[in-house]
Structures are given as structure tokens and as C-alpha cells.
Amino acid sequence: MFDDNKLNELSKNFDSWNKNKVEKAISRFPERKEEFTTGSGDKVKRLYTPLDTADIEYNEDLGFPGEYPYTRGVQPTMYRGRLWTMRQYAGFGNAEESNARYKYLLEQGQTGLSIAFDLPTQIGYDSDNPISEGEVGKVGVAIDSLKDMEILFDGIPLDKVSTSMTINAPASILLAMYIAVAEKQGVTADKLNGTIQNDILKEYIARGTYIYPPEPSMRLITNIFEYCSKEVPKWNTISISGYHIREAGSTAVQEVAFTLADGIAYVDAAIDAGLDVDEFAPRLSFFFNSHNDLLEEVAKFRAARRLWAKIMKDRFKAKDPKSMALKFHTQTAGSTLTAQQPDNNIVRVAIQTLAAVLGGTQSLHTNSRDEALALPTEDSVRIALRTQQIAAYESGISETIDPLAGSYYIESLTDRIEEEASKYIETIDNLGGAPKAIANGYIQKEIQNAAYQHQMAVENNEKVVVGVNKFVVEEEGKKDLLKVDPAVEASQREKLSKLRAERDNELVDNTLNTLKSKAATDANLMPYIIDAVMAYATLGEICDVLREVFGEYEQTVIL
Amino acid sequence: MDRPIRVLVAKPGLDGHDRGAKVIARALRDAGMEVIYTGLRQTPEQIVAAAVQEDADVVALSVLSGAHNHLFPKVVNLLKDEGVDDCLVIGGGVIPEDDIQGLIEAGVEAIYTPGSSTKDIVGYIETHLKRK
């Protein structure tokens, strides 16, 4: 990008600045640290100049928004056209309570829904299963059957909102329920907008809500890809998630690398199942974390876009530009929130919001200040949403596209993250791909090492966490935390026994038997799951039928 | 004791957040203890069976899903039912202040919340063992 002569001159000037100014300054005032690093531990230089970006070719490496390689963003006008979707992840207790929270959030100006399910729902157990004891309604809403889903979306027109559902192992069942509720509202599936997380690989790596072994799990995922490409064309069929990988302790580079390696595995699986890459790839979406190191995070998002575009084009020979554009949702980093001085978390979230927006996210969830203590209260959620609105309407960062591009530091960091993530992907390729690298524990081990190093750096005061290892105050325990009513569990159980008494049990048995026999073939299971859901078979019953055919995943315990 | 302290680090319930459990397991190991980690999704019954089988001096429970009030006391009570009365039970996770007293009264001897230092946990275990 720069003239060679000018670069030579710059290089000389740089050396003389170092010798004459910097060395003198340091001799009088030493720098604060011997070595400066990013949040992920990569070395940061004192100053970045055109010397660091000399190799960048604007047209090839950056290009224009909405064009390959999408470094600068996936849409031609970005936030000038439409702001990102403000989408707060919410759900707790029963469907009635969660429905009220969604309506509150929509009234407050939120523009999309994001459904949190409780752990029994995510792992395919009904609320009355003994294993669900103590967990019903705790980290999300309890959904046992289509009945609950009807209540959850009561009064919310599904052709008007877009809904993201954090559901993985039983994603096909919740999607089937969503399609069924829409049908009852008179909304056809082709009008539905939204996303299911549907990313099982990161469940094995970092999040833990797996049910079935990898092979049948990947089959369910490709069944969804295929079904949606025909019946629910606007649906994002997967949200390939780095979020939880980062929460588990990975670095920014590892977050990009392991997420894209998972993405490669899904594309491989779909192609192996006979799908054409451009038939499903435009509906793939991603989900990243936004951490405290503002500039590293911005570079991370840009690097992820560029690297995915190259992978789709070069490795998978995609032709449709939409197959190459990495769209992503972002959530601010839960693991950076402190239980100490919880109001400080508002500021952390604000910085992480800037990173996500400067990085070109398509949608954003901002965490609430009290999430290191409990589920957030309504007041805390409102502040979190207002943080996004202030960034959007007052800060000016959404008025021009990719405003940090061209910064010597940002561009050089974008390059470095792409390069280091590519090396990881190569290692994973050599291990036989992400599923194998998970099975042998390689990916988990890398993340655990990073998590441990971070913890030790905090404990040795090499890394400062304000309020935790520096600027500590004596404080009283925080009151006014949200409590989930323990009566939810009993009321879900009652609802279930009523449902089982009232529904057409012969129809339930028939649909479940059909599903079971189809599961043993290589048929697409979506239509049979929809039939079972419509007959009011419960989530646990449907998952159990599939457990009988598929078996259950055994975790590789790595320490 | 003439052998290293044996700790069972366990994840009761359906919660999948194991970053904390694994970091602590490793820190305890680095501090010279013998550590067994159960992996995810253990029932209180499985945890107690493992504690008995491994002859654990300490059971360290981790829950971030909000199910601690149900799961922690259950482990303590099942240990008692098994006649184990000299095993130190501690817990950690996203645990609201209001719940801590109740858990301690139920027999979980110490509760660690986000921001806790592994050094403090090591120190606590070394000084509060019930078996000498």
C-alpha cells in the first residue's frame, strides 16, 4: 500500500525516534511493564506504523463492505441502513413469566427475541424427570411440550419478530414447536425469521448440553439444514458458537480458530449428506464473545470474517457470495463480570458493546451487571439494553462503516489473528478435523491451559481485575436479586400430568413409533418430529425415542 | 496424614459450566493434592459413591445453574447416610449471598463465589480437613 522509498525513509525515522526519543524517555521514566500484551497474551508493540501494514493489499485483504472478503462488514451500508438487532437473551421460570419478560423487552425497544431454556429442556428431559430436580426454570424457561410453547409466544406475532433460540441437542424439536405455534397463529413457515443455535460440537467442547453421540447429532443438524432450505428459507439453521469456547477460557485467537474449525465440520457433514454448499451455507451464522480488550476484539471480528470468506471460497468452492459472508451475533463476556462491586460491570459491558459494534456485529446481547450473582433483575436488564441504545444513538460509532479500519494497529492485529487462527485450523485438519480433535481432547486441553494461565495471572496480580485484585472495597452482599419461584417445578409437573391425561395418547404413540422407525433409516427426521410435536408428545418423550436409537454421548473427561 | 490430601471435584446436576471446576482441580493438584474430577452431570448419588470409593478427604462441588440449594445439601446428607462423617464438603458457583448461610447450616462448610482465589481454597482445605 505504500511506496518503497517512503517506507525506507519511515524505517530510518522510526529507528532514530527509538534511539533519540524513546530510549531517553525510558531512561528517565521506565514504562509500566517490561512487556505489554493483549487480553489474550499476545505481545503488543509500543507503536504501530505503516511498516506493520506494508504487506496489506487493500483490494485483496480489505475490500468493500458487502463484498469479498468481507473484512469491512457483510452489508454494503452496515448500520447506516439498519442498526444491529438488540437482542437480550432471556427466559426463566415458566412460559407465562417468560412471555411477560419478552413483552416487557419488546415494549422497551428491543428488536428481536432470544429464548433461554432451562437445563432439562436443553438436555431433553421433561420437568417431571427425577434428573430435572432443582433445575426446572432456573437458567431459562421450562418447555415440556407444544402447550408451553403456545403460552411462551402468546400475543407475540411470529411473522413480526425474529426469534433466536439457544437450543442445541434438541434443536429440531424446539424448531418444530416454533413452526407449529406459527401455524396456529396462521403464519406459514416461509415467513419465519430467527435462529436456532444447533451447534453440538461446542457443547462437547465447552457448554455441556449434549445428548447424543456426534454422528447422529450431526445427522440431525444436516436434516435441519435440508428441511429449512426448502420449508423455512429465512431461518438461520445454526449459530456456530465461539461464545462458550471463550467463556471456558480460550484466547481470542482460539475462539476464532475453534469456531471456524467447527464450521468447517458442519459444512463437510452437509456436503457428505449430499447437499450443495450454496444451498445451505447462506443460512449459516456465527456467535462470538465480546471481551474487554477493545482493540483485540475488533480485530478478531474482522479476522474471523476474512478467514471464513477464504475458507468458503477456496476450500469449499462456494459460488454464492452469501455463502462466504460471516454473519454473527455477539454477547458480551459473562466471564468478565465480577461479583465484587457489580455496578462496575455496566462499564465493562459498555466497552464490550463498543467492540462488538466496531467489529460489525449483526445482533448483540449485553449482559446485566448482576449476572455474576444471579439471573438479572428487570432493572439490570434495562440498563444493559440502554447501553446498546446509547452506543447506537449517541456515540457516533454507527455512522460510518468499519471506522477503525486503516489503523496500523488494528490492521496488523487483524492479520496476526487470522494467521494464528489459520495455524490452529491446520493443526486440527491434521488431527482429522474438529470432531476428532474434540474426541481426543486437544481442543478442550488448549482452552483449559489458557483458562488456567489467566487465573494464575490474576492471582499473581500480573493481570488487574478492578475490584477483585486491585481497588478492592469492603462491601455488603447485594440484595434485590432475582429469585426463581421454586413452585415452578411443581406447576410444570402438574401441567404435564394434565397434558398426558388429556391428549390423544394413541396419536402420540403412533407418531413416536414412526419417528423411532425413521430414525433407524437415513430419512430426514424433521417432518416426523413435527408430527410428534403437533400430537403433544413431550420433549422428553421425543428425545427418549431418539436416545433408544442413537444412544447417548459419553464425555471425554480431560484434566 | 501420611498421604496427599484426596479431593473429589464434582459437578452435580445438569450444569455444563466446568471452567471453574477444572481450574480449581488443577490448582489443587499443583498444590500437591490428589484430585479426581467427576466430569459433568453427576447425580448426588454418583458423587457420594465416588467419594466413598476414592476415599476422598474433601468433596468440592461446583454449580452455576442455580440448583445449589437442592444439590449441595443432598450430597451432604447422602454422605451422612453412608456413614461418612469426616469428609470436608465445600462448594462454589454463582451463589447469591442470601443462600450462603443456609448452605453452611446444611453442612457445606465453605462457599466460594466468582472472584475467589484458588490459593484461598487451597489454604482453607489444608487448615480445615476433618481427617488428620
> Can you give the residue ranges of every domain in chain A?
58-82+197-459, 487-550
pLDDT of residue A375: 86
Where residue B84 sits, what CATH number does that domain have? 3.40.50.280
Taking CA–CA distances from A335, the nearest residue in chain B reads B114
Look at chain B and report how many structural domains it folds into: 1
Phi, psi (degrees; rounded to nearest 5) at A213: -65, 165
Q: Which stretches of chain A drop beneath a pLDDT of 50?
A: none
List chain A residues with CB under 8 Å of B18.
208, 248
Count of A–B CB contacts within 8 Å?
A: 110
Taking CA–CA distances from A138, the nearest residue in chain B reads B66
Q: Which helix (H) or strand (E) holds A531?
A: helix A526-534
Listing DSSP states for A139-190 in one string gives SSB---SHHHHHHHTTT--TTT-EEEE---TTHHHHHHHHHHHHHHTT--GG
Taking CA–CA distances from A472, the nearest residue in chain B reads B115
pLDDT of residue A478: 74
Using alpha carbons, select from A94, A119, A93, A114 the residue that is nearest to residue A156: A114
- Do A340 and B19 count as a contact with CB atoms less than 8 A apart? no
pLDDT of residue B1: 67
- DSSP for residue B108: -
pLDDT in tens, A483-498: 888 899 999 999 999 9
Give, in degrees to the nearest 5, the angle at Cα B2 between A559 and B8: 30
pLDDT of residue B131: 81
d(CA A110, CA A249): 30
pLDDT of residue A105: 87
Choose the CATH number for A58-82+197-459 among 3.20.20.240, 1.10.940.10, 3.30.70.2340, 3.40.50.920: 3.20.20.240
Structural domain harbouring B98: 6-128
d(CA B1, CA B3): 6
Residue B1 forms part of a structural domain: no
Instruction: Going residue by residue through chain B, which has 132 residues, state the pLDDT in tens, using 9 for 90 and above.
Output: 679 999 999 999 999 999 999 999 999 999 999 999 999 999 999 999 999 999 999 999 999 999 999 999 999 999 999 999 999 999 999 999 899 999 999 999 999 999 899 999 999 999 999 986
Taking any CB pair shorter than 8 Å as contact, residues of chain B touching chain A are: 13-19, 22-23, 25-27, 35, 37-41, 43, 65-67, 69-71, 94, 96-98, 113-115, 117-119
ipTM over 0.85: yes
Cell of A430: 491434521
Residue B37 forms part of a structural domain: yes
Cell of A497: 400430568
pLDDT in tens, A456-480: 999 999 999 999 999 999 988 777 7
